[in-house]
Amino acid sequence: MSQMLTLPNNKAIDQFLKDRQNIPHLEHILDDLITRYRHLDSLNEKGRLKFGDRVTSGERADTLFREMRDLVLNYYHITVSTDPKIKLQQKRGNGLNISEEDYCEGCIHIVADREVILKTTLIHGYVHFLVEEIYGYLEEDFSCLEEGLARVISEEMGTYLKDQTGNPAYEYDLLEDALSDIWECYCWLTKLLKRNKDSSLSRRYPFELTYKEKKGLKPDEYSRGNSYFKLHSHLYPSINLPLKYLSPPSPTL
């Protein structure tokens, strides 16, 4: 366990985000996400994305989890000897109404889904488990960091899986989430900092605007956390922030 690294709480992340100079960087990030998403979406419409069969058995989910666990541990050079439990439920409900997974006390609850989606959702849940292993239980005050980290690690692994398998479906859902996360944050910050939205981005943004986006209301922890990590890597490309948090330097070596 490392006490060396100071983790940013939600307030610190909001402070980081509320900077006028972030706006052009967010626009750059959005431009890239829109281009990538639209490309995947056109493949999807032609039925060219293969999401695999729906995973309905707990054993299959366990097997897929172990594959994803080994992938993450190898990719980030982490050693962790314990595993979370995986509880697959067939339908939404029991706290899984909006989200596809919920991590709580060593257990990843997950809704049955097609294999490709289930795999990256398992990675999201596994990041929550790893954070708890490394830092202990973090309070709600660190939810932006936790959700942002889970989002960016699953995106990074989705890209890795796409490259390994040649199947772009691994990036589809994750890009959709990323795009709406960053867009929501952009709407909030342009309102807060009294800037106009870029009209060509607004035209190209592929989803219908939500009430929150229209009003420029403060977005949720997924959106702020994801925007924090994406802005950070855009501003400081030499610092691998996700890796820094997942694999903090050991204080006792």
Under the binding rule (CB under 5 A), the answer on residue 111 touching Zn ion is no
Which of the residues 177 through 206 are near Zn ion (CB under 5 A)? none
Residue 13 beta carbon to Zn ion: minimum distance, rounded to whole angstroms:
15
Residue, CB closest to Zn ion: 150
Which string of x and - marks every residue 146-165 that binds Zn ion (by CB under 5 A)? -x--x---------------
**H-helix or E-strand containing 232?**
helix 221-235
Task: Tell me the number of residues near Zn ion by CB under 5 A.
Answer: 2
Of 147 and 213, CB closest to Zn ion: 147
Of 117 and 150, CB closest to Zn ion: 150
Say which residues have a Cβ less than 8 Å from residue 105's Cβ, sequence separation at least 6: none
What letter does residue 90 receive in the DSSP assignment? S
Q: End-to-end CA distance of the chain, in Å? A: 12
- Residue 140 backbone class (left: φ over 0; alpha: ψ -120 to 50; beta: rest): alpha
Residue 177 beta carbon to Zn ion: minimum distance, rounded to whole angstroms:
11
Residue 169 is which amino acid?
A: A
The residue range among 7-15, 20-28, 133-141, 145-153 that interacts with Zn ion, by the rule CB under 5 A, is 145-153
Residue 103 tokens read as: 């991590």
Of 147 and 177, CB closest to Zn ion: 147
The CA distance from 113 to 120, in Å, is: 11
3-class DSSP assignment, residue 86? strand
Nearest to 120 by CA among 179, 58, 184, 67: 67
Nearest to 133 by CA among 72, 190, 188: 72
Of 17 and 150, CB closest to Zn ion: 150
Residue 132 beta carbon to Zn ion: minimum distance, rounded to whole angstroms:
12
Residue 47 beta carbon to Zn ion: minimum distance, rounded to whole angstroms:
30
Angle between helix 58-76 and 115-135 (nearest 10): 60
Of 168 and 224, CB closest to Zn ion: 224
Of 34 and 131, CB closest to Zn ion: 131
The CA distance from 2 to 130, in Å, is: 13
Residue 117 beta carbon to Zn ion: minimum distance, rounded to whole angstroms:
15
Residue 150 beta carbon to Zn ion: minimum distance, rounded to whole angstroms:
4
Contact footprint for Zn ion (CB under 5 A):
147, 150
